[in-house]
Chain A
Amino acid sequence: MSKDNVLEVRDLVTYFFLRRGVVKAVDGVSFDLKRGEVLGLVGESGCGKSLTALSIMRLLPKGSARTLGGEVRLNGDNILTRSQREMREIRGRRISMILQDPQTSLNPVFSIGEQMREAIFRRTRRSKTEVLQEAVAALRRVEIAAPEQRIGQFPHQLSGGMKQRVVGAIAISGHPEVLIADEPTTALDVTIQLQYLKLLQHLQAETGMAILFITHDFGVVARMCHRVAVMYAGRIVECGPVARIFEQPSHPYTQALIASVPGTSRTSGARLTTIDGQPPSLLNLPPGCRFAARCAHVQARCRDAYPPSITVAAEHAAACWRLASA
């Protein structure tokens, strides 16, 4: 375990067991999250980003989903072996989370103040006035104007952006070391998105917490993250510093993704590129590279065996056979 890493995920495997078969939604995911860093986890819908987050939190949907293997080390301590009771102590205090939809993230029958008090009181057990002061301070930290008034209001009286700020305030009220943000700006409109991203960056710099930022939007990654991990069909295919990935993407999937972001293609005025085809069914994965069927550079060995992760440069690795031959 490197001292720099607050969270290390190794070979995480989470499958859904359905009557139709086994859905290999997270199939051997490994990455490191360094102290005070924002790591982007990018991929299209259904590639396993959110399930990776839920596996780390150990909050898988009841019934069919199970984490079968791997390690999630929080400061060197594998939390996959902890009991649910111990996990309750870890959640909120050491790892926290923000979800996509601010409309349902707050309990509609309680005021903002009551919901913040619950979170703060559970952790500190302090007196009512102290907890209230801390709640007001937390709202101020997420740049909510007139927090003393907001605290008595109910979720329906706040705008979406405001609600998501409150959710953020609750999430960081426990001073977590790791914050998992699962598409926190997807449900916000564009101008509010930008404000929220700036706020998150600001909070991250202030508190030094590490953020695992899950998104499908490369534009957001460019603005927010230090490093980025690209996920495809349950595996991470490429990981590296954001600037380098944008300059020299090594994996054909990353290349295609970046080429399909408006405004990043080098020849402006050119048609936006798209990736043909569909990701493979997670019920029936090919033995080789999962991107092979859609890849422009596909070779024979791509279909036979999954490519190893190859270090391209410092901190930059990709899983592609083309790099092995180079």
Chain B
Amino acid sequence: MRRVPWLSVLVIATMLVMAILAPLLAPHSPIDQTLRDKLLPPFWFEGGSGKYLLGTDAFGRDILSRLIYGARVSLIVAALALTVGGGVGLVIGILAGYLGGMVETILMRLVDAAFTFPAILFALLLAVTMGQGLGTLVIAISLLLWASFARIIRGEVLALKQRDFVALAKVRGCSQLRIMLSHILPNVLNTFMVLVTLNIGVVIIAEAALSFLGAGIPPPTPTWGLMVSEGRGRIAEAWWVSLIPGLAITALVLSVNLFGDWLRDQLDPRLRQQ
């Protein structure tokens, strides 16, 4: 049996705590600029200062504080976008796969259309019409996600509905809704969980891209993606500005993936030892 991935749990828990208790934990304001102290390296390097443990960026803002506050936005965006986008994809995948016929044809053509849709362009359009902000970001990223969820879940459902337990549920007199909810849904939850963990990285990077293009959270508010892109111009001399939030993203994505693997094993009765 796979053991609980404690390191992943620790990383995820740390980031959650950072996000929740940001005002208490951050040593400085994430927004206030101290131009005198700009581009200081982390404290263990020459020229680093104990005042700014992870250094400062081009505006003299404390990177540690921005990282702590940035966890908020990044985690909230990831959670909301995966809930909305993944949830829509899950529902559409089950409906299309199980009901078949016209419902399937219409829904899956919509999915095909979504794949050809320029998500970035749409996000920019949304930003212009709705204004920048969390809502815009979540809608834009959800639009990017739902189609791939729907397609994969539908495939699973197509295989599942051929199994005899679905036929026997009908023999017992279960309604279509009941079969979808209590026989199909629990069987695709594993796949769904794996898709969620795999897509957390996609979401955080999409958030970064959209924030960079100006369709995300407006600039002074720190997000991890935005921090990476802010340091891009000075990557040669002040690498820490990009690298530190980049490492945070890597650590989160990796931890969530490992945790997701473990979770999948836990959810599957065939892999769970009694």
- Give per-residue flags for A159-179: 1 if the beta carbon is below 8 A from chain B beta carbons, else 0: 000000001001100100000
Instruction: Tell me whether B100 and A92 are in contact (CB under 8 A).
Output: no
Chain B, residue nearest A111 (CB): B269
Closest A residue to B187 by beta carbon equals A109
A109-B101 Cα distance, complex, nearest whole Å = 27
Which single member of B101, B165, B171, B189 contacts A97 (CB below 8 Å)? B171
Check A108 against B173 for contact (C-beta < 8 Å).
Answer: no
Q: How many Cβ-Cβ contacts under 8 Å join chain A to chain B?
A: 74
For window 42-73 of A, CB contacts with B under 8 Å fall at 57, 59, 62-63
Are A108 and B270 in touch, CB under 8 angstroms? Answer: yes
**Does A88 belong to the interface (CB within 8 Å)?**
yes
Are B173 and A91 in touch, CB under 8 angstroms?
Answer: yes
Contact B173 A104 (CB under 8 A): no
Q: Are B171 and A59 in contact (CB under 8 A)?
A: yes
Expressed in whole angstroms, the Cα–Cα distance for A90 and B172 within the complex equals 9
Per-residue B-contact encoding for A254-285, CB less than 8 Å = 1, 0 else: 00000000000000000000000000000000
In the complex, whether A105 has a CB less than 8 A from a CB of chain B is: yes
Known contacts A57-B171, A101-B164, A167-B168; A107/B187 CB under 8 A: yes
Write out, one digit per residue, whether chain B residues 245-274 have a CB within 8 A of any chain A CB (1) or not (0): 000000000000000000000011110001
Partner of B172 from A63, A91, A101, A156 at Cβ < 8 Å: A91
B163 within 8 A of A: yes
B186 within 8 A of A: yes
A62–B172 CB distance below 8 A: no
CB within 8 A of A107: which of B101, B165, B171, B173? Answer: B165
Residues of A within 8 A of B171 (CB): 57, 59, 91-92, 96-97, 171
Q: How far is the CA of A119 from the CA of B172 in the complex (A)?
A: 7
CB-defined contacts of A97 to chain B, threshold 8 Å: 168, 171
- B86-114 interface bits toward A, Cβ cutoff 8 Å, 1 = contact, 0 = none: 00000000000000110000000000000
Query: With A122-B173, A156-B269 in contact, is A104–B163 under 8 Å at CB?
Result: yes
Determine if B183 is an interface residue (Cβ-Cβ < 8 Å).
yes
Mark B159-174 against chain A: 1 for CB-CB distance below 8 A, else 0: 0000111011111111
User: Does A89 have its Cβ within 8 Å of any Cβ on chain B?
Assistant: yes
Question: Which residues of chain B come closer than 8 Å to A92, judged between CB atoms?
Answer: 171-173
A270 to B262, CA, bound (A): 62
Q: Select the residue from B163, B171, B268 with max chain A CB neighbours within 10 A.
A: B171
Q: Which residue of the partner chain, among B164, B186, B269, B274, contacts A104 with CB atoms under 8 Å? A: B164
- Chain A residue nearest to B161 (CB atoms) is A62
A91 to B169, CA, bound (A): 10
- Scan residues 84-104 of chain A and give those whose CB is less than 8 A from a CB of chain B: 87-93, 96-97, 99-101, 104
Q: How far is the CA of A97 from the CA of B164 in the complex (A)?
A: 11
Interface membership of A106, Cβ < 8 A: yes
Which residues does chain B contribute within 8 Å of A57, judged by CB atoms? 170-171
Give the contacting residue for A88; candidates B175, B186, B189, B274; CB below 8 A.
Answer: B175
Asked if A90 contacts B173 (CB within 8 A), the reply is yes
B182 adjacent to chain A (CB < 8 Å): yes
**A4 partner residues in chain B, CB cutoff 8 A:** none
Query: What sequence of 0s and 1s flags, for each residue 187-224 of chain B, a beta carbon within 8 Å of any chain A beta carbon?
Result: 10100000000000000000000000000000000000
Contact at A88–B100, with CB atoms within 8 Å? no
Q: What distance in Å separates the Cβ of A174 from its nearest Cβ neighbour in chain B? A: 7
- Does A154 lie at the interface of the complex (its beta carbon under 8 Å from any beta carbon of B)? yes
Q: CB < 8 Å: which of B168, B173, B175, B270 contacts A105?
A: B168
Are A170 and B172 within 8 A (Cβ)?
yes
Contacts of B274 in A (CB 8 A): 153, 157
CA distance A87 to B167 in the complex (A): 14
Contacts A107-B187, A109-B269, A154-B269 known; A99 to B173 CB distance under 8 Å? no
B170 & A99 in contact (Cβ 8 Å cutoff): no
Q: Which residues of B contact A99 (CB under 8 A)?
A: 164, 167-168
Q: Does A304 contact B (CB under 8 A)?
A: no
Q: A91-B171, A105-B163, A109-B268 are in contact. List 4 more A-B contacts (CB 8 A).
A: A59-B167, A91-B172, A101-B164, A109-B187
